[in-house]
Amino acid sequence: MKVVTDQKLQHAKDEFVAQWGALGTQWGINRTMAQIHALLMTSPQPMCTDEVMEELAASRGNAHTNLKELVNWGLIRMIVVKGDRRDFYEAEKDVWQIFTIIARERKKREIDPALSILNKCAEETKDLKGMEAKAFHNQMKQLKEFVSFASKMSDRVASLRYGMAIQLASKILG
């Protein structure tokens, strides 16, 4: 019975790690980085680089680079294990924290640069004459206003405690 349970659990974990890896590419991170995050998120204890490499059949360089990047994002942290010289890692497991970290990092990497370009394009074309120039300027201005609004809303939601965010979502969706 335990063998069947262990096999089913391992299959479910493998499936989750694979799917989380596929989703990661949609968030702007590479597949291996997302798979490492999923692996550590579902691991009951911290894992060392060698264990991550073995579990995902990843090279040392690939594992090391992605572990370092996940630490930079704040999704995982390095753990010191007394008596062991290896670096161990554990993931943030609080789902709301994971959401807010990913939202913050995506904003920094995607939304802020897009907003900067929209601001620049709107500013550079505000005094131009002609129908096409005015249409372009108006489009940039509308996009800038929308992206700015969406960014502020995202910041506001991410700053809420989990319970408050659920209550707000219930009111909006209710």
Q: Inform me whether the pLDDT recorded for 20 exceeds 90.
A: yes
pLDDT at 46: 96
Going by pLDDT thresholds of 50, 70 and 90, the confidence category of residue 106 is confident
Q: What is the mean pLDDT of the chain?
A: 91
Q: Which of 105-109, 111-115, 125-129, 137-141 has the weakest average pLDDT? A: 105-109
Angstrom CA distances, 125 to 88, 113, 133, 137, stand at 52, 18, 7, 6
pLDDT at 77: 96
pLDDT at 120: 96
Going by pLDDT thresholds of 50, 70 and 90, the confidence category of residue 125 is very high
DSSP string across 112-168 = HHHHHHHHHHHHHHTT--SHHHHHHHHHHHHHHHHHHHHHHHHHHHHHS-HHHHHHH
Structure confidence by residue, pLDDT tens digits, 58-105:
999 999 999 999 999 999 999 998 899 999 999 999 989 988 988 888
Structure confidence by residue, pLDDT tens digits, 32-70:
999 999 999 999 999 999 999 999 999 999 999 999 999
pTM across the whole model: 0.79
Q: What is the DSSP letter of 81?
A: -
- Do 69 and 33 touch, CB atoms closer than 8 A? yes
**Contacts for 137 with CB less than 8 Å, ≥ 6 apart:** 122, 125, 126, 128
Going by pLDDT thresholds of 50, 70 and 90, the confidence category of residue 165 is confident
Which residues face 79 on adjacent strands?
A: 88
Q: What angle do CA 95, 16, 5 make, to 5 degrees?
A: 105
pLDDT at 174: 79
Rg of the chain, C-alpha, whole Å: 22
Q: Inform me whether the pLDDT recorded for 27 exceeds 80.
A: no
CA pair distance 45, 104, nearest whole angstrom: 26
Angstrom CA distances, 172 to 76, 77, 92, 166, stand at 32, 35, 28, 10
